[in-house]
Amino acid sequence: MNRNIRVLLADDEPVILRGLKKLISWDALGLDIVGEARDGIELKSMIAACNPDLVISDISMPGFTGIDIIRDIHESGLPIKVVFISAYQEFSYARQALQYGALDYLVKPVNTGQLEQVVSRAVAVIRQETEEERNKEMLKSYERKNHSVTIEELLEQITDGSKGAAAALARMGNIAISRYATVCVVEIDEYSGMPTRWEERERKLVEFALSNIIKETVEEAGSDYVFRKGERFGILLQHEHEGEPQRLMEDLHHKINSFLKLQVSIGVGKSVSGVEEAVESYRSALKGLKARYFGGLNRVIPDIAERQETSFPLSELISLQGSLSEALKSLDKEQLAASSGKLQEAVQLLSGDSRNQAVSHIYNAIIQLEQELADYGVDAGLLVQDDKPLLEKLTDAPTYAELQQAFEDVVNKMYDQLACKAGGKEMPQLMQVKAYVEEHYAENITLESTASLVYMNPYYFSSFFKKHTGQNFKSYLTEVRMGHALRLLLQSDLMVYEIAELVGYNNARHFSDMFKKKYGKLPQEYKHSLRN
């Protein structure tokens, strides 16, 4: 629905003003009288204050003439239509006003028919020009939007490695003559540790606000662009100095934290010599984001140099797992903390930049601990941990620090379970047996000799051992021997028969069969498979 047209009336004769107001039904024609001026000075002031669409004025007034007023309107470019009222003898004066764009003129005395005809024509002209202007603005807005979408699409293609997209962007005039181009990537640090995941509507509002603050910060120079890349925001910076992207992203990060109270990580790619090489900068920015798992969230992460391959042996990790198990069994709190810390450091070295490998190593270490301590009745909670499977909880940890904490929680739970069982009168006897086996596994250990160690007859000892460990003594002894055999196989160049003797087997063939039953492969096959 169209709004009413705003009209200013001006005449130095009050009787003329009153007559104009009563001569026609202004409201019925879609007009509102927003002011009345009695001289040229007042009219000029009211034009600025009332923002009229149409001025109907006497052409000859004190202060400023109608010609002065319309010349001022014409020179300032205001979209105001003017209709003059003139005496017959002022006709030549009115003709001059037409040259400045006066819409029409009326000769005094004005009658209803004349005024209504002129006003109706003025309404039609104003409505038509307003509609045309609105259509022009809509077209410009549409073109701007399409232009923006095209640039975003090309930038997305460039970061996918398209050379043609860079050329197309250059043809559009959107590549600056600058020494460097750098791609940065912004991602919200959202994870399952939050109380609830965002609803779709809330997510869209957050992303809209984030998009606005990124654009306001980086697009001021006119040669930097923001685009979407999946759930992330990409930023192309074209700049002269290498340190500019880091400084700009630090400023952006501060604004996002301060104004939106939102945690984000920003990867800053390495600076390249042109937009056509932006894919290289984009990939290094992604490496920066990937590194936040080990380095921490809510940071600006600069381009990270290629990580040197670690020579940390997997066999060392297995050895550390053994040390951790022994610390648990002996209930040595100090040694437990030291062994756990060393194992976590080893996992980080072995994992490189891979989050999945870190989770896998930690989860495998927990499984191994639970298997080794199962005969003590220890439960690591692999299936359910706080109403969630442990593997899922480890996988959901947003950083390595939180993965470490989850691991520490499991190890402490195991320690508490062992400490509780050690309080019973039979637990010290069981631990004595296990310590004995651990020390003498290479000797000819029998059920009878071990039973006598704790002053039990063999039948009672067999029942006692199975009751507390869930397995018979012979199976337990075999597991201990196989564990040490695996360590020797991976950490030494000993022959299979030598390892067999060192872990209590006189027959190498029998040892190999037992090893395969435990680990699925013969000793040499197992060792060879780890090297490939």
**Beta carbons of 181 and 275 less than 8 angstroms apart:** yes
Three-state SS at 19: helix
pLDDT 10s digits, 502-528: 999 999 999 999 999 988 999 998 888
Please report, for residues 132, 265, 437, the alpha-carbon distance to residue 145 in angstroms, rounded to integers and kept in the order given: 20, 28, 77
Q: Rounded distance, CA 320 to CA 318, Å?
A: 5
Q: Which of 78, 77, 108, 111 is nearest to 8 (CA)?
A: 78
- Name residue 245's amino acid: P
Among 230-234, 250-254, 348-352, which is the least confidently predicted range?
Answer: 348-352
**Distance of alpha carbon 133 from the chain centroid:** 41
Q: Which CATH number applies to 159-301?
A: 3.30.70.270
What is the band of 143 on the pLDDT scale with cuts at 50, 70, 90? very low
Bin 473: left if φ > 0, else alpha if -120 < ψ < 50, else beta.
alpha
Q: In DSSP terms, which residues pair with 268 in a beta bridge?
A: 184
Tokens encoding 274? 């042109």
pLDDT at 186: 96
* 3-class state of residue 332 by DSSP: coil
How far is it, in rounded angstroms, from Cα 344 to Cα 411?
12
Model confidence at 224, pLDDT cuts 50, 70, 90, reads confident
> What is the number of other CB atoms lying within 10 angstroms of the CB of residue 264?
22
Residue pLDDT, tens place only, 377-399: 677 666 655 567 888 888 888 89
The CATH fold assigned to 427-531 is Arc Repressor Mutant, subunit A (1.10.10)
> Which position has the token pair 């001059």?
96
Residues in the chain: 532
**Euclidean distance between CA atoms 353 and 300, whole angstroms:** 17
| Contact residues for 71 (Cβ-Cβ < 8 A; gap 6+) | 100
The CATH class of the 5-131 domain is alpha beta
pLDDT number for residue 191: 47
pTM score, whole prediction = 0.52
Partner residues linked to 522 by β-bridges? none
Q: Mean pLDDT of all residues in the chain?
A: 84
